[in-house]
């Protein structure tokens, strides 16, 4: 900790779902303070000189914690632009970790369920073998390794199926459902043979802060509890919106071919975090929390939950 009573944080990738949620969580936290939040336009984490200037030039001194939520997360774009994915997801985090080590700041790096091959049948633990099948997954795994090589005491948090402020699956589904309800679009068709851990970015942010407060380091999984398919998540969102009568067809992954393979199984075991007192609520509760929040798409649809 620095001289101040509160732990000082910097958030990179602050324009994304998790970055926005982390900034909001830290602003309301009595034990932590948000020293700065940089989106990609303000700070490219792969620009070593720019990151050094940013972290050493903060009013009030250097940070205690740097939370890296910056990444190239569009998995199909990663397949088409592997060099850009490597820079954003591996090179940048490695440089950031080295600088944090030099400055005496803890790096919290956010990773993904895509580091696994998606063929599991039980929730993945932190020690299960990794075997990514996509450029996105491979570059994110490379990022984990570079971070921990540069700062062995860094905290790496793997998350899955994140939704929150901005564009996300839940928002897209509700907008499509609204068009279908008005007769402007066909009924929804959603994949039902991929299963994971839908996670509200607000809960993920609170969990990350909780892990730091618990002095955690190494690799941890954080996700809302329970198992769902994309169809389950879509159905729950439309039902909370108040339209259980709207049909949603179940389809298989092969009916929506994509450049990058999607894991069939992305459920994360979070018991390691639970043992430190960081417990994630059920995904349906997280979904309702999102749909009740200021960032809820229901506000734009003119509906209430």
CA distances from residue 137 to 7, 19, 89 in whole angstroms, order as listed: 32, 20, 9
DSSP 145: H
Structure tokens at 158: 């793997």
CA–CA dist 232, 198 (Å, integer): 10
CA–CA dist 91, 85 (Å, integer): 9
Question: Residue 246 class from Cβ within 10 Å (0-12 exposed, 13-18 middle, 19+ buried)?
Answer: middle
DSSP 268: B
CA–CA dist 245, 133 (Å, integer): 38
CA–CA dist 92, 107 (Å, integer): 12
CA–CA dist 150, 247 (Å, integer): 50
CA–CA dist 12, 36 (Å, integer): 9
DSSP 89: I
Which letter, b or e, does each residue of 124-162 get, where b requires 16 or more Cβ atoms within 10 Å of its Cβ? bebebebebbbbbbbbbbbbbebbbebbeebbbbbbbbb
The yes-or-no answer on residue 200 being catalytic is no
Active-site residue identified among 114, 124, 136, 290: 136
Within 10 angstroms of residue 208's Cβ, the number of other Cβ atoms is 29
Catalytic residues: 136
């Amino acid at each position: 900790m620095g001289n101040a009573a509160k732990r000082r944080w910097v958030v990179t990738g602050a324009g994304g779902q998790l970055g926005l949620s982390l900034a909001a969580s830290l602003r309301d936290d009595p034990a932590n303070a948000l020293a700065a939040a940089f989106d990609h336009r303000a700070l490219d984490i792969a620009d070593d000189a720019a990151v050094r200037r940013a972290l050493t030039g903060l009013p009030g001194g250097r940070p205690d914690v740097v939370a890296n939520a910056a990444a190239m997360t569009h998995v199909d774009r990663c397949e088409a632009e592997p060099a850009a994915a490597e820079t954003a997801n591996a090179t940048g985090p490695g440089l950031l970790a080295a600088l944090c080590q030099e400055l005496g700041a803890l790096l919290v790096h956010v990773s993904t369920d895509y580091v696994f091959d998606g063929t599991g049948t039980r929730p993945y633990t932190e020690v299960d073998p990794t075997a990514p099948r996509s450029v996105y997954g491979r570059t994110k795994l490379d990022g984990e390794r570079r971070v921990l090589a540069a700062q062995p005491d860094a905290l790496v948090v793997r998350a899955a199926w994140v939704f929150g402020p901005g564009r996300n699956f839940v928002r897209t589904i509700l907008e499509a459902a609204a068009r279908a309800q008005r007769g402007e679009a066909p009924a929804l068709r959603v994949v039902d043979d991929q299963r994971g851990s839908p996670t509200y970015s607000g809960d993920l942010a609170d969990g990350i802060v909780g892990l730091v407060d618990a002095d955690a380091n190494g690799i941890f999984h954080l996700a809302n509890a329970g198992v769902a398919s994309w169809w389950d998540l879509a159905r729950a969102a439309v039902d909370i919106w108040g339209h259980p009568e709207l049909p949603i067809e179940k389809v298989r992954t092969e009916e929506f071919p994509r450049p990058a393979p999607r894991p069939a199984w992305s459920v994360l075991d979070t018991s390691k975090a639970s043992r430190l007192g960081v417990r994630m609520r059920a995904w349906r509760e997280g979904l309702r929390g999102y749909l009740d929040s200021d960032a809820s798409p229901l506000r734009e649809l003119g509906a209430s939950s």
